[in-house]
Structure 1
Amino acid sequence: MSDKTVVITGTSSGIGLAAAVAAARAGWQVVATMRDLGKAEPLRKAAADAGVGERVRVKRLDVVDPESIAACLAEVIAEYGRLDAVVNNAGAGQVGTIEQGTVDDVRAAMEVNFFGVVQVTRAALPHLRARGGRLITVTSVGGVIGQPFNEAYCAAKFAVEGFMESLAPVAATVGVDVTVVEPGAVASEFVANVSLDVPALLAAAGPYAPALRSYIERTQASFSGAQSPAEAAAPVVEALTAERPPLRMQTSDWARDFVATKLGDLDGSAVQNLTGAWVGRTMS
């Protein structure tokens, strides 16, 4: 078993929970973090059922609170003496369109889904650099292709993709591998966590109601055939354990086909060859 240590954010449910258990089964010491420790029991039970309860430590980390991030990482270093990988997974959905929302709604989505990732990344990089570690971020196919009524969420995920694609060649010069993992529809509590009151949304949608109804119907249909969290988490563990993980990974054939409509360069190697040269790095 490995003594390598990974911090994973947003592990109370869904991909984060599944990734924490799978990483522990792959031999990692897992620090599974969440904002509300009152929601930790499903993770603890899943880890115990998988026989890896002793390899999963639950800690509080709120990605929008720099003090919380610093305290958590300090505890990790004090207890384990190392940090080999970080998985940015925490996030929150938001459905709506800008005319009927507020700029504060957009700021809130950016705060969790983008600035939270930036803050965790900034705090973790010195430790990852010391270990030649890995920085893995769960984004979305919505970080590649903008989707109706997801303007704020997709804007945040686009920002994360651009941030990580830009950071990757720089981080590589100091030995840190950067990967983004792009799920499509995943059958998890993330959907429920958006807290949609569909009748109220439609009643308030005014001229956007027909389009919103079509979007909701399409979304509900797509989630009926969604991946399980465990299936979506498998590429996260692959990125942790691969000899040289790519910049970009999709979690299913559907996700690959979807993003391929925009990205001919699926693994990001062509972009990395280009931007790597800008910082004096030659890709093999």
Structure 2
Amino acid sequence: MSPKTVLITGTSSGIGLATAIAAAENGWQVIATMRDTAKAGALRAAAEAAGVSVEVRELDVTDPGSVAACLAGLDRLDALVNNAGAGHLGTLEQESIDDVRAVMEVNFFGVLQVTKAALPLLRASEGRVVTVTSVGGVVGQPFNEAYCAAKFAVEGFMESLAPVAARVGVAVSVVEPGAVASEFVNNVAGRDTVLEQVGPYAPALSAYLDRTRGAFANAQTPQDVATQMVELLACERPAFRTLTSDTARAFVGMKLADFDGSAVQAMTGAWIA
């Protein structure tokens, strides 16, 4: 049998890059996509070091034409991994609604756009959709209002889509990492820039950034997340939700048991005190 094909978005670094390599090592034919293929150097080097090959394609998840062009000519697709996303720090009073819309475009509507385009192929193969969300898709976090809103939206959409897609043979899952040691955080605007932008909220943001730096000092590796992603791709009956670490499970578990919301508010309030 020919190898199964997986398309992975956001593979220039971090979880996407690690998942592309791990999937190829496990026999998948990998279509590794990114918005700017000039940034494919790290992926190509990792593939060469691992002795595997991946096909690199350009894909801007916010551009319908780019999505259509990326999927054009595919005769078969067995899995889609929605990994592309962008972090964002800010708070509502100090940023524009257009800023928030831009976060939603990448992290929510981009996921929907690619998934919609892939579904006919995935129905034909009885394949699967795996979407990387975040513990921030379950627990709202200070100064991550727009980002968490987008991830909450993805979680709700995929949880609602899952039983519908299952009726036509497509499994839908979400993966919720906690802190991951990758370029994702570094790609968010720098500390000084953000502090200048938030005005009276600067002391609270400074406290939050200090706390977050400590959390990422003990972050999970992208390779660890990728291992679990590949296991999920191979699983005959994948679970809807995968939390990738004990820390993530404890964090999300607290929210799910917090019936009146007071435990989450006490915890996140302490982060910015």
Residue 248 of structure 2 is matched in structure 1 by 255
**Runs of 4+, deviation exceeding 3 Å:** none
Task: Indicate conservation of the 8 Å contact 1:64/1:116, yes or no.
Answer: yes
1:57-96 equivalences in 2 (<5 Å)? 57-75=55-73, 77=74, 81-96=75-90
Residue 3 of structure 2 is matched in structure 1 by 3
CA distance in 1: counterparts of 2:247 and 2:172, whole angstroms: 23
> Partner of 2:6: helix, strand, or coil?
strand
Task: Indicate conservation of the 8 Å contact 2:89/2:194, yes or no.
Answer: no
Deviations 1:65-121 (A, max 9, x none): 11111111113x1xxx31000000000000010000110000000000000000001
CA distance in 1: counterparts of 2:126 and 2:194, whole angstroms: 47
Task: Indicate conservation of the 8 Å contact 1:235/1:250, yes or no.
Answer: no
Q: Is residue 121 of structure 1 aligned with residue 119 of structure 2?
A: no
Deviation (angstroms), 1:201: 2.5
Deviation (angstroms), 1:2: 5.4
Residue 237 of structure 1 is matched in structure 2 by 230
CA distance in 2: counterparts of 1:28 and 1:200, whole angstroms: 42
Residue 207 of structure 1 is matched in structure 2 by 200
> Partner of 1:262: helix, strand, or coil?
helix
AA matched with 2:116: R
CA RMSD after TM alignment: 1.1
Task: Indicate conservation of the 8 Å contact 2:88/2:146, yes or no.
Answer: yes
Residue 219 of structure 2 is matched in structure 1 by 226
1:1-284 equivalences in 2 (<5 Å)? 3-53=3-53, 56-75=54-73, 77=74, 81-196=75-190, 198-263=191-256
Q: TM-score, normalised by structure 2?
A: 0.92
Task: Indicate conservation of the 8 Å contact 2:91/2:198, yes or no.
Answer: no
Deviations 1:127-185 (A, max 9, x none): 00000001000000000000000000000000000000000000000000000000100
Deviations 1:197-238 (A, max 9, x none): x22332343321221111000111111110111112222111
Task: Indicate conservation of the 8 Å contact 1:2/1:27, yes or no.
Answer: no
Please say which of residues 231-240 and 99-108 is displaced more in the overlay. 231-240
Residue 270 of structure 2 is matched in structure 1 by none
Deviation (angstroms), 1:195: 2.5
Segments of structure 1 that go 5 or more residues without pairing to the other structure are 265-284
